[in-house]
Structure 1
Amino acid sequence: MPSDRQKSGEARREKILQTLSQSVGPITGRSLASEMNVSRQVIVSDINLLKAKNEPILATSQGYLYMPAHPVSRVSRLIVCRHTPDQTEEELLIIVNNGGIVKNVVIEHPVYGEMTASLMLHNQIEVKRFTAELENSESVLLSALTDGVHMHEIEAEHTAVIDRIEQELAGAGILYSE
């Protein structure tokens, strides 16, 4: 028979799942911890337990997202970009303003091979938050390791949306071509 502590942990994890699945954007561990009246570390542990039960939770730089399988109608494409760090926000805004989702960033490192970081940027607010956090931290873009060259997996409702995103990125000199 489960103890009261186990019951409260299970109830909290159910509440976390409910909160994440009803959210339209990422939720930070700090915010979940405050809502559940526990430490952030407890939330991290709960998220790990939920992931171990195959719950589709994704940890991004913006917070946690519940990512159920998308409808078949959505399409994605890997695009190659090259730009300076100052053009990062412009690049990301071109993608989200045209209806795309920036799922991740990928680089080909000469020693480590392919390195991928999840982004899951859906809108201007998330892009602005991401670039502000980058600016306020001592972090550098992954593309700094590859002379600005990187890839993004872009998701959208239709192929035409991704085509339009590529056209705008090319027009801004960001889409990479040799």
Structure 2
Amino acid sequence: MNAVARRERLMELLEKADGAVSATALAHTLSVSRQIIVGDIALLRAAGERITATPRGYVLDRSAAGELRTVACRHTTPEDMANELNIMVDNGCTVVNVIVDHRVYGQLVGQLDLSSRYDVSVFIQKVVEHGAKPLSDLTGGIHLHTLRCPDESAYRRVTEALQEAGILLT
């Protein structure tokens, strides 16, 4: 299969996927190396394809329905991070990303795409396994999350629950 046909097949696989697909899984399916997939994704993005890299793999941005809202949070423990994310997904919102404002690099964004407790648990497990620090460690725990909420009431439930948990930055 030539490179053009491989990229077309790659897009088909992403379009049919129910969730994120890892570069390793795509490489296995297309019988190429993971690095070839990473390069193909970069070229597809440069060509205008809306592919997002998440902790679980690549997804197509299908511009899901819902209101995009931002919440400002502060936490300092891994337990608070898990609690914060679970509050958001338990109230029906998808945690699209995390954003910190770094003194040197400016705005840093980490794509999350978390919609369920399962997604949160997989994310937290990866953080632990890799000894990763949350982006919010760079800013004393202060960070933003972009949420995709089905409606205004879901957003209000999230902010009220984060306020009760002492995580919402006000």
Decide which of 38, 58, 62 is 2:56's aligned counterpart.
Answer: 62
Which one of the candidate residues 55, 65, 72 is aligned to 1:80? 72
Change (3 A) 1:75 1:51: same
* Superposed CA offset, 1:64-107 (max 9, x none): 01113334xx2111100011232111111111121111111111
2:40 pairs with 1:46: yes
* CA distance, structure 1, for counterparts of residue 135 and residue 128 of structure 2: 14
Report the Cα distance in structure 2 between the residues aligned to 1:162 and 1:47, rounded to whole angstroms. 33
1:155 aligns with: 148
Partner in structure 1 of residue 83 of structure 2: 90
RMSD of the alignment, in Å? 1.4
Q: What letter corresponds to residue 30 of structure 1 in structure 2?
A: T
Distance 1:169 1:158 in 2: 17
Query: Which residue number corresponds to residue 16 of structure 1?
Result: 10
Structure 1 residue identity aligned to 2:57: G
| Matched letter for residue 148 of structure 2 | E
C-alpha contact 1:99 1:156 (8 A) present in aligned 2: yes
SS in 1 for 2:35: helix
Q: How far apart are 1:119 and its partner, in Å?
A: 1.2
* Paired residue secondary structure (2:131): coil
Q: Are 1:176 and 2:169 counterparts?
A: yes
Q: Which residue of 2 aligns with 1:104?
A: 97
Give how far 1:169 is off: 1.1
CA offsets, 1:15-42, max 9 Å, x none?
Answer: 2111111222111101111111110001
Q: 2-side partners of 1:131 and 1:55: how far apart?
A: 29
Q: Which residue of 1 aligns with 2:133?
A: 140
- Identity fraction in percent: 36
Match of 1:32 among 23, 26, 30: 26
Matched, 1:117 2:134: no
Mapped partners of 1:175, 1:122: distance in 2: 19
State how far apart, in whole Å, the 1-side matches of 2:48 and 2:62 are. Answer: 11
Q: Which runs of 4+ in 1 moved over 3 A?
A: none
- The alignment partner of 2:147 has SS state of strand
Gaps in structure 1 of 5+ consecutive residues: none
